[in-house]
Structure 1
Amino acid sequence: MSDTPVQTSGTVLTVRQVQDYHAMTLVAPAIAEGFRPGQFVALAVGGEHSGRLVRRCFGVYEVKPDYGGTVEIVFADTEPGTAWLAGRRSRDKVDVLGPLGRPFRLPRDPVSCLLVGGGPGGSALFALADTLQRRGCQVHFLLGGRTGRQVFGSRMAQRIGDSATVTTEDGSVGETGTVPEVMPRVIAETGADVVYACGPTALLRPVTRVAGEYGLPSQVSVEEFLQRTGACGIGVCMTCVLPIHGEDGVTRMVRACADGPVLRGDRVRWGDLGTIPFDALGAPRVLGVPEGSGK
């Protein structure tokens, strides 16, 4: 297994509609071989003559190194780049870079793991679940969304998980409510030792808070920072920075793509996302104007 990303021309095997999302399977054996759960891929969009220079980054739902080397991603069609991807057909070519980013840290011993997800980003939990189960861990899913069509993988979670809880705000699937509302009960019922979470920031923030209240470590994938406007995926464009406070108490701005996308939930300064906190290392300083300067 190599830690070096590969740029390759992936061949589209299938693109299918799954509820409100699209699932694309690509044949990309070099990427499938090196993938570890939590890493992502960056796809060029628009074709070779396109003016769209920025790639689109996605977590990986499933890899099958032994079946031709396939990589499957799940995404929402929300802008012209993802619309182009949704329009691909079998045998089309897509330029793919990966696997990228830091993966999830895996427990040394078999423990009870709570996997929390929402939206298409929650699809990345399933590759993690497979690896955790092969290590002898218990895997419990907690998935949520506004409607049933926005909860990806609920049936799969029920099939492969030791337990699976689904919540929707409109009550169309599973329990009526939100993930943070039912999470304390699920933690108690499953005896969870660690929390892994993938999904939008609006989900990750309260999930981290609840995990902390119960003294549980949390690892979160901040993939949304890579998808807002597209990102290079390799740490050059600096569009995905966010503030993290380290063990030394110093806040640093880190890149979600190169330093993440998996981060410790308790290290993210959730209330300062989208800003450069004044106390961050290297933050710009506001200089005072000397008295009598006339300015």
Structure 2
Amino acid sequence: MQVTGTVLTTRRVDAYHALTVVAPGIAERYRPGHFVSVAVGGAHTSMVTRRALTVHDVKSDYGGTVELVFTVRGPGTAWLAERRARDTLDLVGPLGRPFPLPRDPVHCVLVGAEYGSAVLFPVADALLERGCRVDFVLGGAGADRVFGAMRARRMAATTTLTTEDGSLGLRGRVTDALPSVIADTRADAVYACGPMETLRAVTAVAIEFDIPVQVAVEESMACGIGVCMTCVLPVIGDDGVTRMLRACAEGPVFRGERVRFEDVGTIPFDALGAPGGGARHAG
């Protein structure tokens, strides 16, 4: 649904920005893993495309609020970072496919890199409500790029932090610490969000341990509703056929082992409908 939301609070979270917006309809329909798209620049802007933003928290306060987390990457997100309390935003959401949750209590490792970690906290809340054990592995380039460390420590059985410069936790990347966390916790499943290279490496570790992995991909999205086709990526279907799926509509959550990470940014020759015969191969 499309709503005009009022900004309730704004805050800096180390290197990131967080906006809490009153958006009752979106908050009511939200499930962990959903995202929202936000119009930027104001009524007379030349920036016509929306920005897809991660939902970090949803509360019933004021009829329903959503907290959106982002980093400044260009003029659109720079404009968002300048919003203040009582400003209004044009939001569409909740969008995308949320994380599937286990029916039974299992051990889950949640892996987040940079501000991708933000999407995992509603997942953790939902898993804990189902009696699951939750362990976090969070990382970033430096201490100010690790999102949610204190909150993770409050809610998880264990929290492992990594930084590439060694300024917080272990020196290295989340995937350096992941194998030992999976082994120590006897994990049954992995949930992950972060840059595509991180998700590729997390998926490889989960496959090595023969446990399922659900990933929320970070692909650039222009419309957020499946029309523009800018966020497509190659994903293998249940029938073994590769299709170019839209991260905003069929995702952003996918089974990690089904995403052809090595081919992201291309159209593989064997994909259904690809130039070079994907359709012929599919019969």
Counterpart of 1:206 in structure 2 is 201
What is the SS of the residue equivalent to 1:237? Answer: coil
2:228 to 237, 240, 247: 237
Contact in 1 for aligned 2:114/2:141 (Cα 8 Å): no
Alignment partner of 1:280 is 2:275: no
Question: How far apart, CA to CA, are the structure 1 residues paired with 2:117 and 2:62?
Answer: 24
Percent identity of paired positions between Structure 1 and Structure 2? 61
Question: How far apart, CA to CA, are the structure 2 residues paired with 1:65 and 1:285?
Answer: 51
Counterpart of 1:99 in structure 2 is 94
1:178 Cα deviation after fit: 1.3
1:67 Cα deviation after fit: 4.5
2:150 to 133, 155, 158: 155
1:79 to 74, 92, 107: 74
What is the SS of the residue equivalent to 1:274? Answer: coil
What is the SS of the residue equivalent to 1:123? Answer: helix
**1:25 counterpart letter in structure 2:** T
What is the SS of the residue equivalent to 2:219? Answer: helix
Counterpart of 1:39 in structure 2 is 34
Counterpart of 1:51 in structure 2 is 46
Counterpart of 2:121 in structure 1 is 126
1:66 Cα deviation after fit: 4.5
What is the SS of the residue equivalent to 1:166? Answer: strand
User: Which range is displaced more, 86-95 or 178-187?
Assistant: 178-187
1:247-273 CA-partner distances (Å, limit 9, x unpaired): 211110000000000000000001100
Contact in 2 for aligned 1:250/1:280 (Cα 8 Å): yes
Structure 1 stretches of 5 or more lacking a match?
Answer: 1-5, 287-295
Counterpart of 1:252 in structure 2 is 243
User: Which range is displaced more, 174-183 or 20-29?
Assistant: 174-183
Question: How far apart, CA to CA, are the structure 2 residues paired with 1:67 and 1:8?
Answer: 15
What is the SS of the residue equivalent to 1:249? Answer: coil
Question: How far apart, CA to CA, are the structure 2 residues paired with 1:119 and 1:58?
Answer: 14
Question: How far apart, CA to CA, are the structure 2 residues paired with 1:79 and 1:183?
Answer: 32
Bigger Rg, which one: 1
1:269 to 260, 266, 272: 260
What is the SS of the residue equivalent to 1:156? Answer: helix
Structure 2 stretches of 5 or more lacking a match?
Answer: 278-283
Alignment partner of 1:181 is 2:176: yes
1:212-268 CA-partner distances (Å, limit 9, x unpaired): 00001000001x203xxx411100010000001112111100000000000000000
**2:268 counterpart letter in structure 1:** P
**2:18 counterpart letter in structure 1:** A
Give the aligned length.
Answer: 277
1:168 to 163, 173, 194: 163
Alignment of 1:107-118 (within 5 A): 107-118=102-113
Question: How far apart, CA to CA, are the structure 2 residues paired with 1:133 and 1:67?
Answer: 25
**1:138 counterpart letter in structure 2:** R
**1:203 counterpart letter in structure 2:** T
Question: How far apart, CA to CA, are the structure 1 residues paired with 2:166 and 2:75?
Answer: 31
1:68 Cα deviation after fit: 3.0
Alignment partner of 1:225 is 2:219: yes
Distance 1:136-1:67 versus aligned 2 partners, 3 A rule: farther
1:49 Cα deviation after fit: 1.1
